[in-house]
Amino acid sequence: MPTKRLERLMFVQGGNCFFCKSSLVKADASIEHLFATANGGGNNEENCVVCCKSLNAILGSMSLKEKVQVVLNQKGNFKCPRGVGAAQDAADAAIVKAKLPPIVSSNESASKSARPDNLALVVANLKLRGNARPRTIRTLTTSIATIFPNGIAGDEIAAIIQKLQSTGTVTLNEGKLSYVL
């Protein structure tokens, strides 16, 4: 019998995401607290389910009411943010991404700039998250990475955060983030 909590929950759920029911691999699995610990929820098995990391990043510390609303907004056709079950959407996104030329900033290090489509996805995700938006640069960085299950370069994440700050969408004050969306 699996002994680690993640393994136990995956076993109980048949290796599927609690929300979209798609198959999960351990590397993409994450423990979601239905009643967020940030909102006083416990760390007991009854409050924990397994879902994909990208969905966990979206749900974050939303209240249980907000999480139920996210599920209800799917109108019986839950679409996983990692694109599982939506192979055509993933293929379309890959084609669009392949057609976009890399955008290079003008500085000497030639680090990537934020691609407009990636920036738009991050802003849309932040709007959806409401009060569950990341509160530090570190969690924002992690959250952005989980939005892109096929991977995103660290320098592009940095460029996205820089663009969010330069446009006033995200403000850093004493280590805490605030948003204007």
CATH code of 101-179, in short, is: 1.10.10
Structure tokens at 51: 């879902």
What gap in Å lies between CA 157 and CA 143, rounded to an integer? 10
- Predicted confidence (pLDDT) per residue in 74-105, tens digit: 877 777 777 654 343 444 344 434 443 343 33
Question: What's residue 131's pLDDT?
Answer: 79
Q: How buried is 63 (Cβ within 10 angstroms: 0-12 exposed, 13-18 middle, 19+ buried)?
A: middle
What gap in Å lies between CA 59 and CA 45, rounded to an integer? 18
- Predicted confidence (pLDDT) per residue in 131-164, tens digit: 788 888 888 888 888 887 677 888 888 889 889 9
Give pTM, 2 decimals. Answer: 0.46
pLDDT at 51 over 50: yes
> Given 1.20.120.10, 1.10.30.50, 2.40.50.140, 1.10.510.10, which CATH number is that of 5-73?
1.10.30.50
Listed range (2-16, 64-78, 107-121) with the worst mean pLDDT: 107-121
Task: List all residues 6 or more positions away from 71 whose beta carbon is below 8 Å from its beta carbon.
Answer: 19, 78
Q: Where in the chain is the domain with CATH 1.10.10?
A: 101-179
What gap in Å lies between CA 16 and CA 2, rounded to an integer? 15
The three-state secondary structure class of 50 is: strand
Which residue, 48, 38, 37, is CA-closest to 13? 48
Q: Where in the chain is the domain with CATH 1.10.30.50?
A: 5-73
